[in-house]
Chains A and B, each alone.
Chain A
Amino acid sequence: EDQVTQSPEALRLQEGESSSLNCSYTVSGLRGLFWYRQDPGKGPEFLFTLYSAGEEKEKERLKATLTKKESFLHITAPKPEDSATYLCAVPSQTGANNLFFGTGTRLTVIP
């Protein structure tokens, strides 16, 4: 059973057009929800960790929020350089020391 589901699979935005990416999870006893950014041909880059419902983290035009069932990555007034795939991850239910990743949302910001 998938532990993390991301939507949409792909999103195209005009520069300056704000939107949100969704990550829903089914794990119990959440020990953190993680957001990563991945540029084409590169490894994922860590963005945020959220630990409890109601928590928010911000970095430039990105804000991540967490509820008991899902997390949102809000992108405010995006720029073309925000184009990337955004991955969310949760601690694996089968292993104590590793992450289970979602399939990602591929974001394209058009100038």
Chain B
Amino acid sequence: NAGVTQTPKFRILKIGQSMTLQCTQDMNHNYMYWYRQDPGMGLKLIYYSVGAGITDKGEVPNGYNVSRSTTEDFPLRLELAAPSQTSVYFCASTREGINGYTFGSGTRLTVV
């Protein structure tokens, strides 16, 4: 079992560029989440999904978009990158609700 796989691990973007952070899980989990982690700020929820075709905004959704066309994949899209989006992004999944998230290893994004 690979668990939750995130790609890429590192990325440098220029202001205004776009990119997609990939997240895939092989545990048949219904619930998937995107968090960002900034130094001293804790993990902040960007978007989440309770199943294929269903997504909802979290605490800090501005500047991001998501889709959930399959159970396995939950990509996060940045359309116009800004320096404020420099962060470490984590994808997580769980079978039901809030119990025992499994996290990916993260994507470190720098916007310059």
Contacts and interface: CB of A to CB of B under 8 A. Distances in A.
Given A43-B104, A99-B98, A102-B42, 10 more contacts: A41-B105, A43-B4, A43-B92, A46-B100, A46-B101, A91-B98, A95-B56, A97-B50, A98-B45, A98-B48
A98 B50 CA distance: 10
B53 interface: no
Contacts of A94: 59
Size class of the A contact interface (CB-based, 8 Å): 20 to 34
Given A45-B103, A49-B99, A98 B58 contact: yes
A36 B59 CA distance: 20
Contacts, number: 60
Interface of B: 4, 31, 33, 35, 40-43, 45, 48, 50, 56, 58-59, 90, 92, 97-106
Nearest to A94: B59
A32 B101 contact: no
Contact of B41 (A31, A46, A92, A103): A103
Main secondary structure of the interface of A (DSSP, over half): loop
A30 to B, nearest CB: 12
Given A98-B45, A101-B42, A103-B41, A46 B102 contact: yes
